[in-house]
Amino acid sequence: MTDSDGNFETLIKLVIIGDSGVGKSNYLYRFVEGEFCPIRESTVGFDYKSKVCILPNSKKSVKFQVWDTAGQEQYMSINKNLFQRVQGIILMYDISTLSSFEHLDQWMELIQQYANNMPLILIGNKVDLESKRKVEKEKGENFAKTYDIKFFESSGKTGINVNESFFCIGEDMLEFTNKNNIKPKRGSEYVISKENYKPKKKKACC
């Protein structure tokens, strides 16, 4: 569900992080443009796109401003700075690349250091490559349970669970701001400061 770009109640900012090549740019392009565009070049540094949507559960009109980051380690400092500008995080891996899943713990360490307690979801992307799957869905589910976060498998190519995952994190972000009594600044933009972050302990994995 979309609305005109100038008509929305709240601006909420997201950042997508994960290894290079997991499909962050195509996933975001699918959400904003509604189609697949095979992007061959890796994002250098960061970029962002925006879209106005009516969230299906709360019926709130929100403008998503989504930052797409480079996954290479040399751009970690950019990601750290972006954490201070956003209210939610999409952490992504590629179901066809085992190393991208194995690196999730490193990404979680970064999140817990700079953006702990911020709304977060886990995305296992590229389910269109089922024949090349290297990470079973159960592993993604178990990882999400360990950190008590929501989990989706998606495809920027086919659109599976792209809108659904964005709507999910959008609803969580609105609930988070309301629950923590975070006041809007600069018009309808919500800003979450470090004072709102509380340590979250990692659960024991079975």
* Helix count and strand count (H, E) for the chain: 6, 8
pLDDT band at 190 (very low <50, low <70, confident <90, very high): very low
pLDDT at 106: 92
Which residue has 């962050």 as its token pair? 24
pLDDT at 44: 54
If pLDDT is split at 50, 70 and 90, which confidence band does 39 have?
low
* Of 112, 128, 118, residue with least CA distance to 38: 128
CA distances 96 to 29, 111, 125, Å, are 20, 24, 9
pLDDT mean across residues, the chain: 82
Give CA–CA dist 11/188, Å, rounded.
Answer: 6
Which of 23-32, 73-82, 132-141 is the most confident on average?
Answer: 132-141
CATH of 10-191, one of 3.40.470.10, 2.70.98.60, 3.40.50.720, 3.40.50.300: 3.40.50.300
Confidence of residue 182 (pLDDT cuts 50, 70, 90): low
Whole-number pLDDT of residue 199:
33
pLDDT at 195 over 60: no
The residue type found at 55 is L
d(CA 121, CA 147): 10
Least confident range from 77-86, 151-160, 174-183, 191-200: namely 191-200
Averaged over 98-116, what is the pLDDT?
93
* Residues in Cβ contact with 174 at an 8 Å cutoff, skipping those fewer than 6 apart: 10, 12, 55, 58, 60, 62
**The pLDDT of residue 130:** 97
Top mean-pLDDT range of 9-13, 34-38, 120-124: 120-124
pLDDT for the residue numbered 4: 42
Encode pLDDT of 112-168 as tens digits: 988 888 999 999 999 999 999 999 999 999 999 999 999 999 999 999 999 999 999
